A and B are shown apart, each in its own frame.
Chain A
Amino acid sequence: MEEKKIVESLRKKFPAEVKETGSSLGDDLAVIDKGALLAVMTYLKSKPGDYAMLLDLTCVDYRGEEPRFEMVYHLFSLTNNKRLRIKTRLTENDLRIGSLTSLWKNANWLEREIFDLFGVNFEGHPDLRRLFMYDGFEGYPLRKDYPLRRRQPLIPLKD
Chain B
Amino acid sequence: MPTRIQNEARQDTMLLNMGPSHPAMHGTIRIMLELDGERILNSEVEVGYLHRGFEKTCEHRTYFNLLPYTDRLNYVSPLINNLAYVMTVEKMLGVVAPERAQYIRVLMSELSRISDHLTCLAAMAMECGAFTVFLYKMKAREFIWDVIEQTTGARMTTSYIRIGGVRADLHPDFDTVLKKAIEETRSVLKDVHGLLDKNKIFLNRTRDVAVMSALDAVAYGWTGPCLRSTGVLYDVRKASPYLVYDRLNWEVPLGEKGDNFDRYMVRMQEMEQSLRIIEQAAVRIPKTARTLMTGGIEPEAAIKESRRRRVRKAIALSPNLEGSEECRYPDILASDKGYVVPPKEETYTSIEGLINHFKFFMRGHGIRPPKGEVYFAVEGGNGELGFYIVSDGTDRPYRLHLRAPCFHIVAALEHLIRGRYVADVIPTFGSMNMIGGELDR
Give A residues with C-beta under 8 Å from B: 24-27, 52-56, 58, 60-61, 72, 74, 78, 81, 83, 85, 104-106, 108-110, 127, 129-136, 141-142, 146, 148
Contact = CB atoms under 8 A, between A and B. Distances in A.
Interface stretch (B51-59, B98-106, B316-324, B325-333): B51-59
Contact of B239 (A24, A26, A81, A131): A81
B240 A81 contact: yes
Given A53-B221, A55-B384, A129-B4, A105 B216 contact: yes
Given A72-B388, A132-B440, A127 B4 contact: yes
Contact of A24 (B48, B232, B372, B401): B372
Given A25-B372, A132-B48, 20 more contacts: A25-B374, A27-B375, A55-B384, A55-B386, A56-B386, A58-B388, A60-B390, A74-B375, A78-B232, A78-B234, A81-B239, A105-B219, A110-B407, A132-B440, A132-B441, A133-B51, A136-B1, A142-B56, A148-B56, A148-B60
Nearest to A52: B218
Nearest to A109: B411
A27 B220 CA distance: 23
Contacts of A110: 407
A148 B4 contact: no
Contact of B47 (A24, A26, A132): A132
B92 interface: yes
Given A53-B221, A81-B240, A74 B60 contact: no
A25 B91 contact: yes
Interface in B370-415: 372-375, 384, 386, 388, 390, 398-399, 401, 403, 407-408, 411-412, 415
B87 to A, nearest CB: 12
Nearest to A56: B403
Contact of B403 (A55, A104, A132, A146): A55
A58 B51 contact: no
29 contacts: A24-B372, A25-B374, A26-B91, A52-B219, A53-B218, A53-B221, A55-B403, A56-B386, A56-B388, A58-B388, A60-B390, A60-B398, A60-B399, A72-B388, A72-B401, A74-B388, A78-B234, A81-B239, A81-B240, A104-B219, A105-B411, A105-B415, A106-B408, A106-B412, A110-B407, A127-B4, A132-B48, A134-B48, A136-B1
Interface of B: 1, 4, 47-48, 51, 53, 55-57, 60, 91-92, 216, 218-221, 232, 234, 239-240, 372-375, 384, 386, 388, 390, 398-399, 401, 403, 407-408, 411-412, 415, 440-441
B2 to A, nearest CB: 10
A113 to B, nearest CB: 8
Contacts of B232: 78
A55 B374 contact: no
A24 to B, nearest CB: 6
Secondary structure of the B side of the interface?
Answer: mixed
B417 to A, nearest CB: 15
A78 B218 contact: yes
B232 to A, nearest CB: 7
Secondary structure of the A side of the interface?
Answer: loop
Which of A53, A78, A146 gathers most chain B CB within 10 Å?
A53
B411 A108 contact: yes
Contacts of B384: 55
Which of A83, A108, A136 gathers most chain B CB within 10 Å?
A83
A131 B56 contact: no
A25 B373 CA distance: 8
Contacts of B372: 24-25
Contact of B401 (A53, A58, A132, A136): A58
